[in-house]
Chain A
Amino acid sequence: MSDNHSHGPTGGSATAGHDDHDHHDIASHIKTYIGVFIALLVGTVITVSMYYVHFDSMALTIAIALFIASIKSFLVAAYFMHLISEKKAIYGILIISAIFFVALGGLTLWGMHDWPTGAEGKAMYVP
């Protein structure tokens, strides 16, 4: 992160930070919001109808459903939450927590599937 010294010249005019969204800007944002809203509804409809269409492969169903969910969540995060134009610090925090989330889930899952040879993970009353 940048050295505090460097902000010297702008320090006095911190107000700039908010006024750069002028009304015109916001009006175009609103169009985006509505667009995203529609996309989200469409995504929901696709996910649900896919369920009724009934693919043979469960894995495929899961993959598609999660794919659509990821797109939807990207839209929400990027546009509603303005992540698309967010500051570096925020990206940093999110990337760190994403990494740890993946580590938690991934390593746990791996840990629960790598046993010494001959271990049986499910039944207690082995014959």
Chain B
Amino acid sequence: MEIPYTDKPRPDTGLYNAKLGIWLFLASEIMLFGGLFSAYILLRVNAAEGVWPAVKLAWPHGLLNIPIGTFNTAVLITSSVTVVLAWASLKMNNFARFRMFMVITVFCALSFLGIKSYEYNEKFTHYELRLNDGKAYTGHLIVNGEHPGFWDFSKVYNLEQLKAKTNVTSIKFTADPEKAEGHGHGEAGAHEHKELDLKTDQIAHLDAFLPRNHTFFAIYFTITALHGLHVLGGALVLAYFAFPGAKLWKTHPEQFTNRIEVGGLFWHFVDLVWIFLFPVVYLL
């Protein structure tokens, strides 16, 4: 005995079960990301002036790597078109082409995640520095001649942790070029990097671009990480369909095509979230 309408649509609704199921799930996802976007808007609208002196803005922006973000957007868009092409290939009974497009999709997904972790690492090793005399910088930290790195998390410091290290009394700091006031312009227009030699007791505040550093980073990391988890989950499912799950094509081709459509719908949704996320956190 089987559940009806797993492959054929129910006549009066015109839908097969999984299609309705995935759209319901996506509706809840809209509310999930909707909640996060609402939080973002609220925190940003309410952000107080002067909380982040280094960029002289209430809400630091232009701190993310725009060229890379743009590239990643293109990667995700590509994967979105390939997944729908994969489905179309099945519709045209071309299994080999289906598998090719699926592989491309999964490859894009993994590239997206790889690039994203490169960006994360870039942020975790980027610092905000404020001195006792009120000067503020962003840049890179050099402790005992080495750049602290994300992959070795014990070397990501804030001021307290730095002071707790007895063998460190001074640091070097490669400051980023000054930015145009009022509107940060990312990596554009490189001026020279200033090298600072500092005693630890000159420093008022020092922290990497971590979630705890500022609400902007907090929301950036939280939403993109959640989005990344969706990408990862989607990639796993699509990879499953491309290989072990593809057995179903032989026995139940319609049900298999439906699964691909449903998986694709999820994948497009992930793309949709990014379409908003990218301008909102990178550009605005």
Contacts and interface: CB of A to CB of B under 8 A. Distances in A.
Interface of A: 1-4, 6-7, 10-11, 14-15, 17-18, 21, 23, 26-27, 29-30, 33-34, 36-37, 40-41, 44-45, 47-48, 51-52, 54, 58, 61-62, 65-66, 68-69, 72-73, 76-77, 80-81, 87, 89-90, 93-94, 96-98, 100-101, 104-105, 108-109, 112, 121-123
Given A17-B9, A68-B279, 17 more contacts: A6-B12, A14-B10, A17-B16, A21-B91, A23-B92, A33-B81, A44-B278, A47-B283, A48-B70, A61-B284, A73-B276, A80-B271, A89-B14, A90-B20, A105-B37, A105-B38, A108-B42
B268 A81 contact: yes
A47 B10 CA distance: 42
B283 A48 contact: yes
B133 to A, nearest CB: 24
Contacts of B183: 54, 58
A16 to B, nearest CB: 9
B275 A90 contact: no
B85 interface: yes
Chain A contact surface mostly: helix
24 contacts: A1-B12, A6-B12, A23-B91, A33-B85, A44-B77, A47-B278, A52-B185, A65-B280, A65-B284, A69-B276, A73-B276, A76-B275, A80-B271, A81-B265, A81-B269, A87-B13, A90-B23, A94-B27, A97-B28, A97-B31, A101-B34, A108-B42, A109-B38, A109-B42
